[in-house]
Amino acid sequence: MKSSSTKISRELSRAADILNKDGVVGIPTETVYGLAASIFSKEGISKIFKVKERPSFDPLIVHISNLHQKEDIVREWPALAEILAKNFWPGPLTMVLKKNTKLNSMITSGLDTVGIRMPKHSVALELIDQVGPLAAPSANKFGKTSPTSAEHVKSEFKEEVFVLNGGTCEVGLESTVIAIEDTKILILRPGMISEKMLRDATPHARISYAESSASPGHLKHHYQPKIPLYIFEGEVSAETISSQIQNQNWKELELDTSPAIAARQLYESMRKLSNKKLDALIVLKKPNHSSADWLPIWDRLTRASSKTY
């Protein structure tokens, strides 16, 4: 045990050193790995967009390790934010709030708001304790599948990026993103903090879902694996699938019956299967997948897919 904790503290200091010198680092979180830079480093922030090939109109999420840090980031802290932070932080919930005017506007793509969250991962929290808040999108090239292990990040960016290894991500899907205005909560990106969980924590809030294009960067086509993914609804035979997609060289991406486990495994399965010599991936949408627990998983699968049959 001792040697592994020595190793992690050595890697933590290396990561802190790179971040303090305007660099970017791959960091573990409970959702997916992030590509991080210090919010105080202009150069680091611009490197994120460059390395990720991310368009500048897509804002980054700021990660904090304690509530005092929010002062440099937001200029308002509504009562709802306080309740939600108490209930769900550290955890997979990003709140979009009015930004502090001093915060680098590259992080927010020029918007007047900023996404902020406290990740539930001891290594990430320790790193943020050392170097301060970190801006980080998911650590994948723009539009591609998010990484849920250090190996995924390394294979995406090769030698270009140092990756702090914190094991496999427990949640496996990106955080729920919500905008807060007065007593209203708008769900911009569904995630494992569900509408029901938000409702239970804030019975007086009005909760609704944004149009799917409301969150900049959360585009129709996103999370895409290297080969096309097709969704089939209802009972279909292998013959039907082959004839519909006019190809026999496909494989089913199977989903676990538990949504929490299916979420954890989703991106790993997508990556693994698309590295095989296949022409397509198939996902079967079953009747029980219509329940609320499956919403974030099907949000990502639909965006990753080329077509639904």
Positions touching Mg ion (CB under 5 A) are 138
What is the smallest separation between the CB atom of 138 and Mg ion, expressed in angstroms?
A: 3
- Residue whose tokens read 């680091």: 44
Judged by CB, which is closer to Mg ion: 138, or 148? 138
Judged by CB, which is closer to ligand TXA: 177, or 185? 177
**Residue 31 binds which one of ligand TXA, Mg ion, none, with CB within 5 to 8 A depending on kind?**
ligand TXA
Q: Is 200 exposed, middle or buried (0-12, 13-18, 19+ CB in 10 A)?
A: exposed
Judged by CB, which is closer to ligand TXA: 37, or 136? 136
What is the smallest separation between the CB atom of 264 and ligand TXA, expressed in angstroms?
A: 13
> For the CA atoms of 207, 70, 222, 26, what is the dihedral angle to 10 degrees?
-150
CA neighbor of 202 nearest in space, from 79, 89, 92, 76: 79
Site of interaction with ligand TXA (CB under 6 A): 29, 31-32, 34, 58-61, 92, 94, 96, 108, 111, 113-115, 119, 136-138, 174-175, 177, 188, 215-218
Judged by CB, which is closer to ligand TXA: 197, or 278? 197
What is the smallest separation between the CB atom of 223 and Mg ion, expressed in angstroms?
A: 8
Judged by CB, which is closer to ligand TXA: 245, or 265? 265
**Residue 113 binds which one of ligand TXA, Mg ion, none, with CB within 5 to 8 A depending on kind?**
ligand TXA
The C-alpha atoms of residue 118 and residue 91 are separated, in whole angstroms, by: 6
User: Residue 34 forms beta bridges with which residues?
Assistant: 27, 138
The C-alpha atoms of residue 223 and residue 232 are separated, in whole angstroms, by: 18
**Residue 216 binds which one of ligand TXA, Mg ion, none, with CB within 5 to 8 A depending on kind?**
ligand TXA
What is the smallest separation between the CB atom of 250 and Mg ion, expressed in angstroms?
A: 26
What is the smallest separation between the CB atom of 60 and Mg ion, expressed in angstroms?
A: 10
Judged by CB, which is closer to ligand TXA: 126, or 232? 126
Judged by CB, which is closer to ligand TXA: 132, or 216? 216
What is the smallest separation between the CB atom of 162 and ligand TXA, expressed in angstroms?
A: 16
The residue with its CB nearest to Mg ion is 138
What is the smallest separation between the CB atom of 69 and ligand TXA, expressed in angstroms?
A: 15
Q: What DSSP line would sit under 11-78, residue for residue? A: HHHHHHHHHHTT--EEE--SSS-EEEEETT-HHHHHHHHHHHT--TTSPPEEE-SSGGGGGGTBS---
Is the distance from CB of 179 to CB of 188 less than 8 angstroms? yes
Q: Where are the alpha helices (DSSP H) in the chain?
A: 2-20, 42-52, 79-88, 122-131, 150-157, 195-201, 238-245, 259-274, 295-304
User: Residue 184 forms beta bridges with which residues?
Assistant: 181, 206
